[in-house]
Structure 1
Amino acid sequence: MGYKTILTVVTDESLLNSTIDHAAAVAACWDAHLEVLAFGVDRTQTGYYYAGADAIILQETLDRASKDAAELANAARVRLGQIEGRWSIEEGVAQLADIGRHVAGRARFADMVVLPKPYGKERGVELEPIVEGGLFEGQAPVLVVPQAINPSSKPKRVVLGWNESAEALRSVRAAMPILQSADTVHVVVIDPPQHGPNRSDPGGMLSQYLSRHGVNAEIDVLTKTMPRISDILNRHVQDVDADMVVMGAYGHSRFREAILGGATRNMLELAEVPVFLAH
């Protein structure tokens, strides 16, 4: 089992090189084909203009988005030409409200989607629906990579966030090739329930499952000493010098996470190592 098709999406020239470098490193590691989507984003909000202006503005923004897509695709070809491996590129225009659907259509037939962090300074608003399109409608695992780190292939130490949820279990199965190649996988259980079938051995069943797949797993039971789960995970990443986080994505609704915050959103905002997500 491995990853044979890696998908990435570029919409911002300032993030293009790092995004392609990270995706290409992952593809090279698994001898996979790299697919690149270069999107010019049409941010037109139809209905916000005076009567008669919509058609003119729509055409202007469409032309601008088409030009952006062509420039991004050309820049991507130049970057890809410097990298060994198999790759293909496709360019197109997508409206902001519909870009997630376009990404999902390609993510459905990819083994992993590699994307930049969607939150931070000077990050386009389209990056969040791109991540969600891959995860939800595309049903593909997404590897979110901070821009500043060096491209990596296989992590040596992985922190796996485990809360017995369906999302966490899906992330384990989707990340199995990565977990098998790691030297150590730290299964992090935070404040396990005091009542339940696994109260005496938190993470024990998962550890057994992983060991049968050849994964060297350690169970780290932690107390919630900080307000946010993401803070505890990030601190543990530093404590064990981990190279990657694997976790389930969006256990709560996306609306709740957007308004109130949540472990997924906070991790994507703060993580300094790649975060592997599955829903």
Structure 2
Amino acid sequence: MTYNSLFSVLTDESLVEEALSHAMATATQHDAHLDVLCLGVDRSQSGYYYSGASAIVLQETIARAQEEGAAIEAKARAVLKNSSLRWGIESGVSQLADLGRHVAARARFSDLVILPQPYGTGRGSELEPVTESALFEGGTPVLIAPTGGKPVPNPNRIMVGWNESSEALGAVRAALPLLREADVVHVVVIDPPSHGPNRSDPGGLLSQFLSRHGVKVEIDVLSKTLPRVSDVLLRHVRDMDADLVVMGAYGHSRFREAIFGGATRYMLEQATVPVFMAH
């Protein structure tokens, strides 16, 4: 298994170089084809316009989105034109409410989607639905490129956030091409259950599974000494000098995540290394 078909979505001209640097490095590492979707997003009232809005207002919002899409495409082509990669670019316009359909339709025919960090200062509201559409509707693993971070196409030290969930196991399976090539993979278990079949050997079955795939594994059992699980994970990322984090995305409903936060959102907000997620 490898990543032969990579996909990236660009909706912000200022993030083109950041996102493509990671996508191009990964494509080079895996000798993969890179497809890029450049979208101008109509961020006006989703799906409809206020009563009395004129056709001129409607046309202005569409024209603005078309201009943004064209500028994004031009910048992406400038970045890619001198590379030796196999790549293709498609551009278009979408309303914010309809963004997911366009992303998922293309993501589902890819092995890996590479996207910019969806949260943080100056990040547009469209980045979150793009990420969620690739993960949920597209059913494709996503590699999130951190703000200001350097591409790590061949990570040597990988941290796996393990909580025995199907989401975490799905992320591990999807990340196997990266895990096999790493020097070491740390399976991190936080506050393992005191009851249950795996209480005496937390992470043991996953370690056995990975070892049979030729992965060099270490198990780190940590206590939740900080308020959030994500804080413990991020501290361990720094302690072990990890190049990549692998984790399941959204262990419970996205509605609950949106209201209360959650490990997924906090990791994506604060991560300084690439985060590989699957659901």
- Opposite residue 160 of structure 1, the aligned amino acid is V
Partner of 2:245: 245
- Unpaired stretches in structure 2, ≥5 consecutive residues: none
In structure 1, what is the equivalent of residue 156 of structure 2?
A: 156
Q: Is the 8 A contact 2:11 2:39 kept in 1?
A: yes
- Residue 209 (structure 1) aligns with: 209
What is the CA-CA distance between 1:47 and the residue it aligns to? 4.8
1:89 aligns with 2:95: no
CA RMSD of aligned residues (A): 1.0
Distance in 2, Cα, partners of 1:141 & 1:47: 32
Q: Give the Cα–Cα distance (whole angstroms) in 2 for the partners of residues 148 and 248 of structure 1.
A: 23
Q: Which residue of 1 aligns with 2:272?
A: 272
- 1:63: which partner in 2? 63
- One-letter amino acid of the structure 1 residue matched with residue 11 of structure 2: T
- Which residue number in structure 1 is paired with residue 262 of structure 2? 262
Q: Which runs of 5+ in 1 are unaligned?
A: none
AA aligned opposite 2:61: T
Tell me the residue number matched to 2:189. Answer: 189
Q: Secondary structure at the match of 1:66?
A: helix
1:130 maps to amino acid? V
Rounded to whole Å, the distance in 2 between the matches of 1:275 and 1:222 is 20
Q: Provide the C-alpha distance between the structure 1 equivalents of 2:236 and 2:166, rounded to a whole number of angstroms.
A: 23
Per-residue deviation, 1:72: 1.1
Instruction: Summarize the alignment of residues 85-124 of structure 1 with structure 2, pairs less than 5 Å apart.
Output: 85-124=85-124
* 1:23 aligned partner, one-letter code: A
Cα distance in 2, alignment partners of residues 262 and 82 from structure 1: 41
Q: Distance in 1 between matches of 2:228 and 2:120?
A: 19
- TM-score, normalised on structure 2? 0.97
TM-score of the two chains, using structure 1 as the length reference: 0.97
- Following superposition, the deviation at residue 70 of structure 1 comes to 1.3
- Native 8 Å contact 1:19 1:147 kept in 2: no
The offset of 1:4, in angstroms, is: 0.4
Instruction: State the shift of 1:82 in Å.
Output: 3.0
Q: 2: distance between equivalents of 1:144 and 1:127?
A: 11
C-alpha distance in 1 between matches for 2:255 and 2:207: 33
More deviation in 54-63 or 256-265? 54-63
Match of 2:263, as an amino acid? A
Aligned to 1:140, what secondary structure does the other structure show? coil
Q: Which runs of 4+ in 1 moved over 3 A?
A: none
User: Partner of 1:209: helix, strand, or coil?
Assistant: helix
Distance 1:237 1:105 in 2: 34
Distance in 2 separating the partners of 1:47 and 1:210 = 50
Amino acid at match of 1:61: T
Percentage of pairs with the same residue: 63
2:272 match: secondary structure = coil
**Which deviates more from structure 2 when the two are superposed, residues 196-205 or residues 63-72?**
63-72
Aligned counterparts of 1:50 and 1:109: Cα–Cα separation in 2: 40
For these two proteins, the number of residue pairs brought into alignment is: 278
Matched residue of 2:179: which SS?
helix
CA contact (8 A) 2:13 2:68 kept: no
Which letter does structure 2 place at the counterpart of 1:227? P
The whole-number CA distance in structure 1 between the counterparts of 2:149 and 2:137 is 29
